[in-house]
Amino acid sequence: MRSNIGIYGHRGFSGCYPENTMIAFEEAESIGVDGIELDVQMTKDGELVVIHDEKVDRTTNGAGYVKDFYYNQIRLLDAGSWFDPKFSNQIIPSLSEVLAWVKGLDRKLTVNIELKTDRIDYINIEKKVLSKVYEYQLNDQVIISSFNQNSLKRVRELDPFIQTALLFIGVPANVLEEARILRVNGIHCEAQFALSIEGQKMRENGYPLRVYTVNDPSYVNALKKARVSIIMTDFPNRFLSL
């Protein structure tokens, strides 16, 4: 399977470690994933932080919206104990922290940065993310994805060459048209789309299919037949060993 489908750790190795923390990313890398997927939100003072939800309630000991925290406040939150008390030393990482770590690795690791702008349209987040990617010279290792088409438009206007991907749910019939308008380079979809006629149409038109979030290895053969490029999973260990 490894020669056909790449494996990305979804929010890192989030099935066994607290999602979107450095330990989740480090453990995913240590077992040989091809890439990691992470989510970016923005603090009140404009710092980019890696957390999935708009609010900190689910994955920290705090409460409230990320946008209402200053960076120095959000760094004080415990981002690990909710998963297991032994991870109480984990904090919400900054995007800079993750990219600096990726840059320091002795191999190339792809980073899928999801812009979490589908509920809160953070001002200038696209420009800020691109600036960080440039700062660490990771242009050729980054894919920027989003459910928010306006965010993808802004990214493409700012950078004609960075890899972008359209994120969506289900099996919509107009994805090819949207992908062309947005000038994205790939499709991030559920397995049902990849296995559908619409999904195969996208692949035949040159769009790689990267499928989220697959945790059951029994799907692998079907996804291989569908010529999926990437599987994103909370449990990369289940797939790397196949």
Question: Which CB contacts under 8 angstroms, 24+ apart, belong to 187-192?
Answer: 188/112, 188/145, 188/212, 188/232, 191/219, 191/222, 191/223
Q: Is the pLDDT of residue 241 over 90?
A: no
Known active-site residue 188: no
Mean pLDDT of 116-124: 96
Q: Is the pLDDT of residue 90 over 80?
A: yes
Q: Is the pLDDT of residue 125 over 60?
A: yes
Q: 6, 8, 10, 187: which is the annotated catalytic residue?
A: 10
Mean pLDDT of 152-159: 98
Q: 10-23 as b/e, with b when 16 or more CB fall inside 10 Å? A: bbbbbbbbbbbbbb
Residues 15 and 1: their CA atoms lie apart, in Å, by: 21
Confidence of residue 1 (pLDDT cuts 50, 70, 90): very low
Residue in 68, 66, 46 with CA at minimum distance from that of residue 56: 66
Q: 1, 16, 26, 52: which is the annotated catalytic residue?
A: 52
The gap from C-alpha 228 to its chain's centroid, in whole angstroms, comes to 17
The pLDDT of residue 242 is 76
Residues 61 and 20: their CA atoms lie apart, in Å, by: 15
The pLDDT of residue 3 is 55
Q: Is the pLDDT of residue 180 over 60?
A: yes
Q: Is the pLDDT of residue 95 over 90?
A: yes
The pLDDT of residue 79 is 98
Cα separations in angstroms, 133 against 50, 67, 113, 126, 238: 14, 22, 10, 11, 30
The gap from C-alpha 117 to its chain's centroid, in whole angstroms, comes to 13
Residues 57 and 40: their CA atoms lie apart, in Å, by: 16
Residue in 232, 40, 11 with CA at minimum distance from that of residue 151: 40
Each residue of 15-26: pLDDT tens digit? 999 999 999 999
Q: Which residues pair with 55 in a beta bridge?
A: 65
